[in-house]
Copies of this chain bind each other. A is one copy, B any other.
Amino acid sequence: MYRDRIRMPSLESKIISPQAAAAMISDGMTIGMSGFTKSGDAKVVAPALAERAQHEKIKITLLTGASVSDEIDSTLTKAGVLARRMPYQGDPTLRKAINAGEVMYVDQHLSETVEMLRSNQINGIDIAIIDATAITENGGIVPTTSVGNSASFAILAKKIIIELNVAQPLGLEGLHDIYIPTHRPTREPVPVVSPDSRVGTTYIPIDPSKIAGIVIADKRDNPVKLEAPDADTKAIASHLIEFLKHEVKVGRLTNRLAPLQSGVGAIANAVLHGFADCPFHDLTMYSEVIQDSVFDLIDTGKLVFASATAYSLTQSCWDRFYANFETYKKHMVLRPQEISNHPEVIRRLGLIAINTALEADIYGNVNSTHVGGTHMMNGIGGSGDFAGNAYLTTFVTKSIAKNGAISSIVPMVTHVDHPEHDVDLLITEQGLADLRGLAPRERAKVVIDNCVHPDFKDALRDYYKEALKRGGQTPHVLEKAFSWHTAFRETGDMKKAF
């Protein structure tokens, strides 16, 4: 049975039920599950564990690559199984539990989790549960549609449970490039020198005696829903592309640009989509996630290669991918998220990084995570890995939210994920602020002039004028810095502050 997928015959006897796998998990354990933006996540054992938790107390620490499907985060939250969660999530049920203080959420840079695990700075993985296409002759694990943290989870875990996913095509084999940094103090350079560098193995090398069970899974990834580009996201894309054209014109870039990184979600996808109509060519991508727009750019020949750690696709794009699998595979590689997001490689390649801001302030500080400074939305994800090390760090956001009750550009952000030092460009549908080489007082002017919605522009100018009277490198009126947020909390409209 499954000879083409379990190629080490001695492992055939390890096939067990999801319930038997879930029974291996004890209260207090740390579990590392595969999964990144709902791709390649281990969807079979988690519901069985939630089922078990109906009858006995089980609290675990759950680590993943990034966000995972309902079957995992939502189900385990409802079952009360999650004590602690890292490094990223995007689930409404879990989010609520996090903000209520019921689940301790450690919001980490996505490149750092396995670095901390490897050096024993956080509790080690008791059991790794990995969605797999196949097990090789030597017991290696061939991942499915994401690598995420799966490789190091499996390598560092005491035991491994494999969810052998027979719904995933065997042709996924060869898509992955598994490279693990060597141990300190004798660590060597990460040898990736271009988005298409292949420097590792096509499988996760493990000690097969650690495989405690193999559960047969038969379910492809849950597709994502993605809003279509609208007038605002098209305007944001257009501002970025005009800027890049100018950069080419003045000789700072060529028409091949530099490897692109794009955050996850509707705005980032729409921005990338905007590259379809541009004079640039032979583009490459060194990013976290491959979204629908990447397939469009490959189809039109604009993009020649994409390196990432996972997919995040709508159903129609999944269908398109699987229907033309061998063609797309030539243009793509999936790496561990430690490598897709590695500061060393990001700095070396000189990326153009495009990520979404929740809010930004007049000096270019960016909040990616906290609504009203207190309530977690999703997490910082890889944005910090990229923002701190890219050639060009860009944050995009629509200038207003909630039908104009919120301005995304505020006097002072309520939570800083990306300090002004790291932010080069800020783009809204209103326009683009090029902050490179500017002092804060100059930044305030270009941000207010170019990025702010007309409904908030005068008020922001007034705030800044009042702040200037206080002086300083970064003028502020501290007692009014959050008055817009306070007004929104109390009245539902930031504009009530002025």
Q: A interface, how many residues as a size bin?
A: 35 or more
Number of this chain's copies in the assembly equals 2
Residues of B within 8 A of A486 (CB): 478-479
Contact for A106 among B123, B349, B392, B437, CB less than 8 A: B437
Contact for A185 among B119, B122, B343, B349, CB less than 8 A: B349
Chain B residue nearest to A87 (CB atoms) is B421
Encode A259-278 as 1/0 by CB contact (under 8 A) with B.
10000000000000000000
Interface set, chain A 360-410, CB cutoff 8 A to B: 365, 369-370, 372-376, 380, 384, 388-389, 391-392
In angstroms, Cα B193 to Cα A374, docked, is 41
Tell whether A388 pairs with B343 under 8 Å between CB atoms, given A375-B473, A478-B482.
yes
Inter-chain contact A376/B188, CB cutoff 8 Å: no
Tell whether A375 pairs with B472 under 8 Å between CB atoms, given A105-B439, A121-B437, A478-B414.
yes
Residues of B within 8 A of A372 (CB): 472, 478
Tell whether A350 pairs with B101 under 8 Å between CB atoms, given A343-B389, A416-B416, A476-B374.
no
Chain B residue nearest to A61 (CB atoms) is B437
Inter-chain contact A482/B485, CB cutoff 8 Å: no
Tell whether A373 pairs with B474 under 8 Å between CB atoms, given A417-B419, A421-B108, A421-B384.
yes
Contact for A116 among B107, B342, B384, B436, CB less than 8 A: B436
Whole-angstrom distance between the Cβ of A324 and the nearest chain B Cβ? 28
Tell whether A370 pairs with B473 under 8 Å between CB atoms, given A190-B189, A350-B184.
yes
Chain B residue nearest to A84 (CB atoms) is B439
Residues of B within 8 A of A365 (CB): 416
Whole-angstrom distance between the Cβ of A386 and the nearest chain B Cβ? 12
Tell whether A350 pairs with B187 under 8 Å between CB atoms, given A99-B471, A106-B439.
yes
Contact for A119 among B104, B349, B350, CB less than 8 A: B350
In angstroms, Cα B482 to Cα A467, docked, is 15
Whole-angstrom distance between the Cβ of A423 and the nearest chain B Cβ? 12
Inter-chain contact A258/B439, CB cutoff 8 Å: no
Inter-chain contact B374/A123, CB cutoff 8 Å: no
Inter-chain contact A421/B99, CB cutoff 8 Å: no
In angstroms, Cα B100 to Cα A493, docked, is 34
Inter-chain contact A347/B344, CB cutoff 8 Å: yes
Whole-angstrom distance between the Cβ of A495 and the nearest chain B Cβ? 17
**Does A191 reach chain B (CB closer than 8 Å)?**
yes
Inter-chain contact B191/A185, CB cutoff 8 Å: no
Interface set, chain A 239-271, CB cutoff 8 A to B: 250-252, 258-259
**Does A415 reach chain B (CB closer than 8 Å)?**
yes
Residues of B within 8 A of A123 (CB): 437
In angstroms, Cα B182 to Cα A348, docked, is 9
Inter-chain contact B184/A193, CB cutoff 8 Å: no
Inter-chain contact A376/B421, CB cutoff 8 Å: no
Inter-chain contact B478/A187, CB cutoff 8 Å: no
Interface set, chain A 410-433, CB cutoff 8 A to B: 414-419, 421-422, 424
**Does A134 reach chain B (CB closer than 8 Å)?**
no
A101, A185, A189, A251 — most chain B CB neighbours (10 Å): A185
Whole-angstrom distance between the Cβ of A416 and the nearest chain B Cβ? 4
**Does A194 reach chain B (CB closer than 8 Å)?**
yes
In angstroms, Cα B187 to Cα A471, docked, is 43
Residues of B within 8 A of A303 (CB): none
Inter-chain contact B478/A375, CB cutoff 8 Å: no
Residues of B within 8 A of A414 (CB): 476, 478
Inter-chain contact B482/A185, CB cutoff 8 Å: no
Residues of B within 8 A of A121 (CB): 252, 392, 424, 436-437
Whole-angstrom distance between the Cβ of A352 and the nearest chain B Cβ? 11
Whole-angstrom distance between the Cβ of A85 and the nearest chain B Cβ? 9
In angstroms, Cα B247 to Cα A121, docked, is 10
**Does A470 reach chain B (CB closer than 8 Å)?**
yes
21 pairs from A and B in contact (CB 8 Å cutoff): A99-B473, A105-B473, A115-B391, A120-B251, A184-B350, A184-B391, A187-B193, A187-B348, A188-B193, A343-B347, A370-B473, A370-B474, A373-B476, A374-B472, A374-B478, A375-B471, A375-B472, A376-B472, A415-B474, A417-B421, A478-B489
Given known contacts A187-B350, A373-B481, A419-B419, what 14 new A-B pairs fall within 8 Å (CB)? A84-B439, A122-B437, A123-B437, A184-B258, A185-B350, A187-B349, A189-B193, A372-B472, A374-B474, A374-B475, A375-B471, A380-B419, A388-B388, A478-B482
